[in-house]
């Protein structure tokens, strides 16, 4: 939700009133054959394909099929930016004849088709968009190509921009259509089902062109948002009107009879694969503190787990956050409860090296003392973990309470053992912990060390926040909206670099994950899609 001026709102209502939505059906024999053959292959061998062996192959084939139908670039250009997936798929294919000999020929055939297509310079989507754009060129000429996957926006802009006639074309994501900007034409790449309803029901253009291959089964209309119906609204001057809010999508070409569901073309997250990987990580860590987390699907198919327990929060940029002093152009970093993070917001994820991004900066603040202080911290945490392991959590809590800790409970004890927490809030709890692990005589020195680290972390947090806000203010929110991601570095070290990625989906299932896997991208996120 952002501030839209009254004049802009008038433009929005004008566009949304009666948008002309024209679906262009595109034919391409080789791609059609590949797309449909793959669809049948997956339908016929559903059970076999559930085996993890198939992941790299299915991922490659599905991904290529999707990109060729979703990105208005030549097939060759798409393949060139996706070579890693190709190599992984190719490597697995070599083993098919040993693992699944009965499927080897079909798989090889599909792979060959994909390979042949990947060598073609064909760009059916791009060619038609360009031709339509030139036909409808008008004086104001403020038009946009709408793509589902904004990772490709720079490549598309560069490709179209190489011809000066198309330099005025913007490349946008559906999120850009939440603002008040309206366009002369919107060239929407892919079937309507791939896009949120508001692209059509709250159109930001009087003219929307949908580009969809003719073997894809797409929706025919956008229904009334209120399933329960609608109210009759009439005026005394006009006759009774039953409002019909269903928006029709008109096909300009013929749809093929061999249809594939639009949703089936989109790669999906491999939830069991993710759970399996989490389990593997947890098994390799001693004393891993496990917490409840939610999975966020980010721009570029990246995945991240964020803690949901209690009042867990995370740094985000809400592009719709707006304050009186800005003009809607600058992003603002805010800490938001994990439960309130929603699609369209950008989450800040630490990157580069994996350590907590605050820690290196805090260590710089601590200077020469850093190593000793960290060692002290590590020492009592290790003792605590060891002792809890020996006596069990319930007994540990009971003992701590007996030693005067008022806040000893499951969650707090977990936090005190965790490397992410520096110290207890109250000295009484800390004193009880020290006594519990048998180093009560050193309690004060450990407390001072923890306080010093804590203070350095706080200063580091402030300095990162300031540095980040400075960086972010140099990037317009418009650019961020367009690309869906950006990387910001804090200081010179890689440890301080952060990724800013748009949340695409929040997976509803809750996961129990080791604390160490929170707040960082799941490694090999690309492999967790099929």
Partner 1 sequence: MANKTTIKSDRAIPGLLFNNRGRWLEAPNWIDFFVDLGCALASSKEFTDENLFVAIAAPTRAFAANLIALGAVSRLSQTVSAKPSPDDHFNRISALKKGTVLQRIEKQKRYKCAFLGIETFQGTQCVKVAVNMGKNKVARLIPKNRCLDIILNGNEAIYEDKVTRKRNILERPEFTRHFVHPVCHTDFALEKRLDCKIIGKQNILKVEAKAEVLAVRSEDQFHKGTLNDILRIRELLSQDDPYRTQFLSSRNGDTYSATDNSPFLTIYDGANAYLKSDSANNCPVTAVVLDKTEPNFEIAAQNISDTFIKRRTGQIKLVLNYQAPQSVDILGFTEASK
Region from 39-47, 276-284, 338-346, 375-383 binding partner 1, contact rule CB under 8 A: 338-346
**Sheet with 186-189, edge to edge strand ranges:** 170-172, 144-146, 186-189, 207-213, 20-26, 250-251
Region from 177-185, 351-359, 376-384, 454-462 binding partner 1, contact rule CB under 8 A: 177-185
Contact 26, 211 (CB under 8 A): yes
**Exactly one of 72, 124, 180, 496 binds partner 1 (CB under 8 A); which one?**
180
- What minimum distance in Å lies between the beta carbon of 16 and partner 1? 4
Report the residue number, 133 or 321, with the smaller CB distance to partner 1: 321
Q: How far apart, in Å, are the Cα atoms of 80 and each of 65, 234, 527?
A: 14, 57, 18
- What minimum distance in Å lies between the beta carbon of 294 and partner 1? 15
Region from 60-68, 103-111, 336-344, 406-414 binding partner 1, contact rule CB under 8 A: 336-344
Asked if residue 329 binds partner 1 (CB under 8 A), the reply is: no
Report the residue number, 94 or 237, with the smaller CB distance to partner 1: 237
527 in helix, strand or coil? Answer: helix
- What minimum distance in Å lies between the beta carbon of 265 and partner 1? 22
Sign of the Cα pseudo-torsion (393, 395, 396, 397, in order): positive
Question: What are the backbone dihedrals phi and psi of residue 197, each rounded to the nearest 5 degrees, phi first?
Answer: -55, -35
Task: Measure the CA–CA gap between 324 and 460, rounded to whole angstroms.
Answer: 28
Contact 5, 78 (CB under 8 A): no
29 φ/ψ sector (left φ>0, alpha ψ -120 to 50, else beta): alpha
- Rounded to whole angstroms, the maximal C-alpha distance in the chain is 89
78-84: list long-range contacts, CB under 8 Å, 24+ apart: 78/118, 79/118, 79/119, 81/155, 84/526
Report the residue number, 177 or 437, with the smaller CB distance to partner 1: 177
**Exactly one of 47, 135, 232, 394 binds partner 1 (CB under 8 A); which one?**
232
Asked if residue 300 binds partner 1 (CB under 8 A), the reply is: no
Asked if residue 235 binds partner 1 (CB under 8 A), the reply is: yes
**Exactly one of 103, 203, 460, 513 binds partner 1 (CB under 8 A); which one?**
203
**Exactly one of 94, 164, 227, 254 binds partner 1 (CB under 8 A); which one?**
227
Report the residue number, 232 or 394, with the smaller CB distance to partner 1: 232
Report the residue number, 70 or 177, with the smaller CB distance to partner 1: 177
Q: What is the DSSP string of 5-51?
A: -HHHHHHHHHHHHS-EEEEEEE--HHHHHHHHHHHHHHHHTHHHHTS
Contact 71, 36 (CB under 8 A): no
Residues in region 306-325 near partner 1 by CB under 8 A: 322-324
Secondary structure of 460-495 in HEC code, one letter for each residue:
HHHHHHHHHHHHHHHCCHHHHHHHCEEEEECCCCHH
**Exactly one of 343, 354, 392, 438 binds partner 1 (CB under 8 A); which one?**
343
Asked if residue 263 binds partner 1 (CB under 8 A), the reply is: no
- What minimum distance in Å lies between the beta carbon of 462 and partner 1? 23
Report the residue number, 327 or 394, with the smaller CB distance to partner 1: 327
186 in helix, strand or coil? Answer: strand
Region from 139-147, 176-184, 254-262, 437-445 binding partner 1, contact rule CB under 8 A: 176-184
Question: What does the binding site for partner 1 look like in residue numbers (CB under 8 A)?
Answer: 1-10, 12-18, 177-178, 180, 196-198, 201-203, 224-236, 238, 241, 243, 245, 322-324, 342-344
């Amino acid at each position: 939700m952002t501030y839209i001026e009254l004049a802009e709102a008038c433009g929005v209502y004008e566009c949304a009133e009666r948008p002309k939505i024209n679906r262009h059906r595109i034919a391409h024999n080789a791609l059609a054959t590949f797309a449909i053959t793959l669809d049948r292959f997956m339908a016929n061998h559903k059970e076999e394909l559930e085996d993890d062996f198939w992941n790299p192959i299915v991922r490659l084939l599905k991904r290529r099929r999707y990109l060729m139908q979703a990105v208005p670039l030549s097939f060759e250009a798409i393949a060139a930016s996706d070579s890693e997936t190709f190599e992984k798929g190719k490597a697995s294919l070599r083993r098919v004849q040993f693992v699944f000999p009965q499927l080897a020929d079909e798989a090889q055939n599909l792979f060959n088709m994909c390979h042949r297509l990947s060598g073609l310079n064909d760009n059916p989507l791009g060619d038609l968009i360009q031709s339509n754009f030139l036909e409808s060129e008008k004086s104001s000429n403020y038009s946009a190509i709408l793509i589902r996957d904004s990772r490709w926006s720079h490549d598309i802009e560069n490709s179209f921009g190489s011809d000066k006639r198309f330099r005025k074309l913007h490349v946008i994501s559906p999120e850009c259509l939440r603002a008040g900007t309206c366009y002369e034409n919107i060239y929407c790449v892919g079937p309507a089902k791939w896009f949120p309803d508001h692209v059509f029901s709250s159109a930001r253009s009087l003219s929307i062109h949908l580009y969809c291959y003719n073997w894809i089964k797409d929706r025919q209309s956008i229904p009334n948002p209120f399933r329960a119906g609608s109210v009759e609204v009439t005026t005394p001057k006009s006759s009774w009107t039953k409002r019909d809010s269903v928006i029709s999508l008109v096909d300009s070409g013929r749809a093929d009879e061999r249809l594939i569901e639009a949703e089936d073309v989109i790669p999906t997250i491999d939830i069991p694969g993710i759970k399996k990987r989490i389990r593997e990580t947890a098994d390799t860590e001693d004393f891993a503190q496990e917490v409840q987390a939610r999975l966020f699907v980010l721009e570029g198919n990246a995945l991240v787990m964020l803690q949901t327990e209690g009042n867990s929060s995370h740094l985000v940029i809400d592009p719709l956050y707006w304050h009186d002093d800005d003009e809607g152009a600058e992003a603002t970093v805010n800490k938001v409860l994990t439960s309130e993070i929603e699609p369209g917001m950008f989450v800040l994820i630490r990157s580069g090296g994996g350590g907590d991004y605050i820690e290196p900066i805090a260590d710089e603040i601590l200077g020469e003392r850093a190593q000793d202080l960290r060692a002290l911290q590590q020492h009592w945490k290790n003792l605590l973990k060891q002792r809890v392991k020996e006596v069990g959590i319930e007994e540990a809590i009971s003992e701590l309470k007996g030693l005067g800790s008022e806040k000893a409970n499951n969650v707090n004890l977990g936090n005190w053992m965790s490397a992410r927490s520096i110290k207890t809030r109250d000295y009484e709890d800390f004193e009880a912990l020290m006594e519990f692990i048998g180093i009560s005589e050193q309690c004060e020195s450990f407390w001072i060390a923890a306080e010093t680290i804590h203070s350095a972390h706080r200063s580091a947090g402030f300095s990162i926040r300031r540095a980040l806000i400075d960086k972010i203010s140099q990037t317009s929110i418009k650019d961020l909206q367009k690309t869906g991601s950006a990387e910001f570095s804090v200081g010179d070290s890689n440890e301080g670099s952060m990724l800013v990625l748009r949340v695409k989906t929040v997976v509803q299932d809750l996961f129990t994950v080791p604390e160490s896997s929170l707040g960082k991208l799941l490694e090999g996120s690309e492999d967790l899609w099929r």
